């Protein structure tokens, strides 16, 4: 079916329209494209890495700087709405690492942090990730 085709396309390196897919995406516990980015099976531009966090450039940047920060181990954290007490440490690390990477990227005038959750939040990849966007003036409210 159409739905199956869209969901399985999450495993391909490039999607025609991530946001169109997001509108149709069903929250899922299945492996995501980010597993292959973590394993380096699919290349990405890594800007920061330690034993727990990977940060790499978004393939469809929404600003001069657009980086995704993800936990290397998903541990059930498909999205923020699935957070449990055991995730408090990794959630803090993702935000603190975003600050380090913002500094590394020279975003001294500010930046935007986004976590999309679920269909209405336009989430398209069900492995929690923090968007770090900067290098241009942001607007409020977001779309
Ligand atoms: O829409 P949400 O918040 O779930 O964010 C998912 C993000 O993953 C989008 O901003 C996409 O542009 C990004 N994305 C998707 C793929 C991808 C990527 N960033 C880097 N490299 C990627 N590869 C290789 N493949 C993707 N499908």
pLDDT digits (tens, 9 = 90+) for 79-94: 999 999 999 999 999 9
**Overall pTM surpassing 0.90 (yes/no):** no
Token pair in block for residue 44:
């990405």
Asked whether 126 and 27 are in contact (CB, 8 A), the reply is yes
Q: Determine the distance separating the centroid of ligand 1 and the alpha carbon of 60, expressed in angstroms.
A: 7
Which neighbouring-strand residues pair with 113?
A: 132
What single-letter DSSP state applies at residue 114?
E
Which whole number is the average pLDDT over 68-84?
98
- Nearby residues of 115 by Cβ (< 8 Å), 6 or more positions away: 79, 80, 121, 128, 129, 130, 131
Asked whether 123 and 21 are in contact (CB, 8 A), the reply is no
Name the pLDDT band for 70 (thresholds 50, 70, 90).
Answer: very high
The pLDDT, as a whole number, for residue 26 is: 82
- Percentage of the chain exceeding pLDDT 90: 80
44 lines ligand 1 (CB under 6 A): yes
The pLDDT, as a whole number, for residue 20 is: 54
Q: Which of 1-5, 47-51, 52-56, 129-133 has the lowest mean pLDDT?
A: 1-5
Q: Determine the distance separating the centroid of ligand 1 and the alpha carbon of 84, expressed in angstroms.
A: 24
Going from the C-alpha of 16 to that of each of 10, 34, 134, the distances in angstroms are 11, 17, 24
Which atom of ligand 1 is closest in space to residue 57's alpha carbon?
20
Which whole number is the average pLDDT over 31-49?
98
42 lines ligand 1 (CB under 6 A): yes
Using only the alpha carbons of the chain, give its radius of gyration: 15
Asked whether 24 and 10 are in contact (CB, 8 A), the reply is no
Q: Which of 11-20, 83-92, 105-114, 134-143 has the lowest mean pLDDT?
A: 11-20
Residue found by looking up tokens 């396309």 in the block: 9
Q: Determine the distance separating the centroid of ligand 1 and the alpha carbon of 16, expressed in angstroms.
A: 11
- pLDDT of 27 higher than 50: yes
Which whole number is the average pLDDT over 102-131?
98
- Percentage of the chain exceeding pLDDT 70: 83
Beta strands, E only, 15-141: 46-49, 53-57, 65-71, 112-114, 130-134
- CA angle 124–67–32, rounded 5-degree value: 35
Which neighbouring-strand residues pair with 69?
A: 55, 130
128 lines ligand 1 (CB under 6 A): no
129 is catalytic: yes
Question: Which one of the listed residues 10, 66, 127, 129 is annotated catalytic?
Answer: 129
The pLDDT, as a whole number, for residue 2 is: 37
Q: Determine the distance separating the centroid of ligand 1 and the alpha carbon of 17, expressed in angstroms.
A: 10
């Amino acid at each position: 079916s159409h739905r199956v085709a869209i969901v399985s396309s999450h495993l391909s390196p490039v999607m025609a329209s991530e946001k169109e897919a997001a509108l149709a995406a069903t929250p899922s516990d299945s492996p995501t494209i980010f597993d292959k980015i973590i394993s380096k099976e699919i290349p990405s531009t890594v800007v920061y890495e330690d034993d727990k966090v990977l940060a790499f450039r978004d393939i469809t940047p929404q600003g001069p700087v657009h980086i995704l920060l993800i936990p290397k181990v998903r541990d059930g954290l498909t999205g923020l709405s699935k957070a449990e007490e055991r995730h408090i440490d990794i959630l803090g690390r993702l935000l603190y690492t975003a600050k380090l990477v913002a500094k590394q990227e020279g975003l001294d005038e500010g930046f935007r942090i986004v976590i999309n959750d679920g269909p209405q939040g336009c989430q398209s990849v069900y492995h929690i990730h923090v968007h770090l966007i900067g290098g241009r003036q942001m607007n409020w409210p977001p779309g």
